[in-house]
Structure 1
Amino acid sequence: MSHPIHQANENSPYGDLTREEFYQKHRIKHLESFMLNKRNMKVFTQSWRLVPDPDDHDKGNISPTLRGLVAMVHGYAMDSKWLFELTAIAIAKCGFLVCALDLQGHGLSDGFPGHIPNVECVIEDCIQFFDSIKFENPKLPAFLYGESLGGAIATLICLNQKNEWDGLILNGAMLGISPKFKPAGAWLLPVAAFLAPTWKVAPVKPNASKFYKEEWKRKLAAKNPNRRTSRKPTTATALQFLRLCECIRLRCHELELPLLIVHGEDDRVCDCSSARLVYESAGSHDKTFKSFPGMAHMLIGETEENVELVFGTIFAWLKDRGA
């Protein structure tokens, strides 16, 4: 199945279509809403599912059979729209009900831009929303999908909700931060986070090509109207990143659910070796690790051939384990 990113251009993920026309073309029912979290903050949420094709059914109201539920968590300085939603559409077209939210301080959710002072609160938001979708669809097998920071958050969700998920997919996950991307003087972060929590850290920033290999995709990502922050995290957020990676390193052996990890070997942001360590340490009997030579951090930013290779692996894994 072809990933919808191939229909985008450098100005819009929907190519020459409007967002509504794009969804209609792919026969996707899309819902948006806001959830009030336990801290009285508004959190933006979305869901996607395939709708009936009148040409394939005698009655237009017959819904395609759902294979399962996929809950998605986006990365830092990203959101659940724009490029991320193209993957949501692709998974929905595989026969899954898909849901996602904008993390605190990202996209349309409340919060200081890009600021995550306590990752446990973000995990709490995800569990609150995902549990509400699972409650409405109790018979569907439920899978978690996370990219970059979202992969680390998805991993912690699984560790906090053992036996409540049927599989975990990690795409370029932040399971360890590359030494080239760590801020200078990282040992001072606890003090800096206490004294100036919203001060922006200045990491050694990789060239933009280390995120998206194809130039037109870099331009497209930069035009995301919902993007509220640069890749420079606040001191409090950077400290949370380091603690999150350390927590996963110490607890990844507790993972026992079906696990798929895909990672670019040329990832200069999130360490590929850390992803391999999580794979080797996980207690899962059903686990797969796929590293891709020459590929960078954002695997959706690769060439068409490479995107099909990576996401074809993900789609096939989901279909094999869905209902």
Structure 2
Amino acid sequence: MGGAVILLLHRKKPEFWDGAVLVAPMCKIADDMKPPAAVTTLLQGLSWVIPTWKSFNITKDIIEIGFKEPRVREEIRKNEYCYKGPPRMRTASELLRVSYDIEQRLSEVTLPFIVLHGEDDKVTDQQVSKELFKVASSTDKTIKLYPGMWHGLLCGEPLENTEIVFADIIRWLEERTKLGNPRAETLNKAQADNLSLNRNNKL
């Protein structure tokens, strides 16, 4: 959900953000993860009546299909702070609503970004990451697709795969930090000018 949150925050205040690293973002929930249309309609209605009830076991186990490494899956299942099982009714309804909203408004994305997606991701849809790269209004945009990798690019893959993904992210960040940050520089200059003006006024 992190990618979806980033895109929603960017849309709310686009001038505030200097860039984004989107790792398998939830621009759209993969079709294999969605319940049938009739069930979706039923769940959306029930979510207003019983919002905290767990939705029925109608989708695949996200832990099982999201993380390739068995060791990681076992760690997640043993972690008492990790939510397990079907999402609550209202949560499931909101995830569907938000992903549909983002999917329809990809062209409004204007910030620099890199989007990374495993080609064997069964949780979020890589096709929408491709569409984001294609239609986003950003002038600085990068996409990285990884054959054979799943949804958990940063923690669910074998070490050699994770290192590839992190290397791509670090390279992208380093290239852009070398260019400087015009917005931050302008803000710092304005603050320095105001400070100097205040000192002169006191004198």
Q: TM-score, normalised by structure 1?
A: 0.51
* C-alpha RMSD of the superposition: 1.6
Contact (CA 8 Å) 1:206, 1:268: kept in 2 or not?
no
1:167–1:198 Cα change, 3 Å: same
The offset of 1:173, in angstroms, is 1.1
2:84 maps to amino acid: S
Question: 2:127 is matched with which residue: 249, 273, 276?
Answer: 273
Q: Does 1:298 align with 2:117?
A: no
1:225–1:189 Cα change, 3 Å: closer
Structure 2: gaps (5+ residues): 181-203
Q: TM-score, normalised by structure 2?
A: 0.80
Question: 1:214 is matched with which residue: 60, 63, 69?
Answer: 69
The offset of 1:200, in angstroms, is 1.1
SS in 2 for 1:156: helix
Question: 1:173 is matched with which residue: 25, 47, 65?
Answer: 25
Contact (CA 8 Å) 2:61, 2:85: kept in 1 or not?
no
Q: State the match for 1:238 in structure 2.
A: 92
1:157 maps to amino acid: L
1:224 maps to amino acid: N
SS in 2 for 1:203: coil
Q: State the match for 1:101 in structure 2.
A: none
Aligned pairs for 1:80-159 (under 5 A) are 149-159=1-11
The offset of 1:286, in angstroms, is 0.5
The offset of 1:180, in angstroms, is 1.3
Figure out how many residues of one structure are paired with residues of the other and give that number. Answer: 174
Per residue, is there more helix in 1 or in 2? 2
SS in 1 for 2:16: coil
1:301–1:315 Cα change, 3 Å: same
Per-residue CA deviation, residues 166-210 of structure 1 (Å, 9 max, x unaligned), is 001110111111111113411222211111111211232147442
Q: Does 1:307 align with 2:168?
A: no
1:236–1:273 Cα change, 3 Å: same
Q: State the match for 2:174 in structure 1.
A: 319
2:26 maps to amino acid: M
The offset of 1:256, in angstroms, is 1.0
SS in 2 for 1:176: coil
SS in 2 for 1:205: coil
Structure 1 runs, 4 residues or longer, greater than 3 Å off: 206-209
Aligned pairs for 1:189-204 (under 5 A) are 189-201=43-55, 202-204=57-59
1:284–1:231 Cα change, 3 Å: farther
Per-residue CA deviation, residues 9-45 of structure 1 (Å, 9 max, x unaligned), is xxxxxxxxxxxxxxxxxxxxxxxxxxxxxxxxxxxxx
Q: Which has the larger radius of gyration?
A: 2
Contact (CA 8 Å) 1:199, 1:235: kept in 2 or not?
yes
Per residue, is there more strand in 1 or in 2? 1
**Aligned-pair identity (%):** 36
In 2: Cα distance, 1:171 partner to 1:207 partner: 16
Structure 1: gaps (5+ residues): 1-148
SS in 2 for 1:270: coil
The offset of 1:307, in angstroms, is 0.5
Q: State the match for 1:162 in structure 2.
A: 14
In 1: Cα distance, 2:2 partner to 2:81 partner: 17
1:203 maps to amino acid: I
Q: State the match for 2:189 in structure 1.
A: none
